[in-house]
Amino acid sequence: MSHETIYRTLFIQSRVALKKELLAHLRRTRAMRRSRHHAQKTDNHGRITGTVSISERPASVDDRAVPGHWEGDLLFGSANSQIATLVKRHTRYVMVVKIDRKDTATVVDALIENARRLP
């Protein structure tokens, strides 16, 4: 019999809330039981707030006619490694920069430093 079966049985018998006498004997002293996936059932779980749809971009973005526009991305690898990529939209020139840490200041400083080396 698993611990999950025991907990489920105790909570079902006592109609979701446990009595104080039983709480003292449990490893986790919760009076109310929630499933592991309870937090994932909210409407905003795993969503970025304040996003703008890609279909709402101006038409000038799609035709790549305006020089000087860049697209950036931050990629995370294993063992806490990360790189930043910048792509110049008009010429498709790609700049890849190794980043030591993923905080904003480090990423911005590394990109500015690398952009100064451009021809």
Residues of the domain holding 10: 3-36
Nearest-angstrom CA–CA distance, 87 and 66:
14
Instruction: Answer yes or no: do 108 and 68 share one domain.
Output: yes
| Weakest-pLDDT range from 4-8, 48-52, 68-72, 108-112 | 4-8
More confident residue, 73 or 50: 73
Indicate whether 105 belongs to any domain.
Answer: yes
Instruction: Answer yes or no: do 74 and 112 share one domain.
Output: yes
Indicate whether 21 belongs to any domain.
Answer: yes
Nearest-angstrom CA–CA distance, 76 and 65:
31
Mean pLDDT of the chain: 76
Cβ neighbors of 62 (< 8 A, separation 6 or more) are: none
Question: Would you state the pLDDT for residue 66?
Answer: 77
Most trustworthy range by pLDDT among 9-23, 38-52, 74-88: 74-88
Is residue 24 classed as helix, strand or coil in its secondary structure? coil
Long-range contacts: 110-113, Cβ < 8 Å, 24+?
110/84, 111/72, 111/84, 111/86
Answer for the pair 104, 112: CB distance below 8 angstroms, yes or no.
no
Interval 61-103: pLDDT, tens: 777 777 778 888 889 888 888 999 988 888 888 889 999 888 8
Cβ neighbors of 17 (< 8 A, separation 6 or more) are: 31, 32
Domain total of the chain: 2
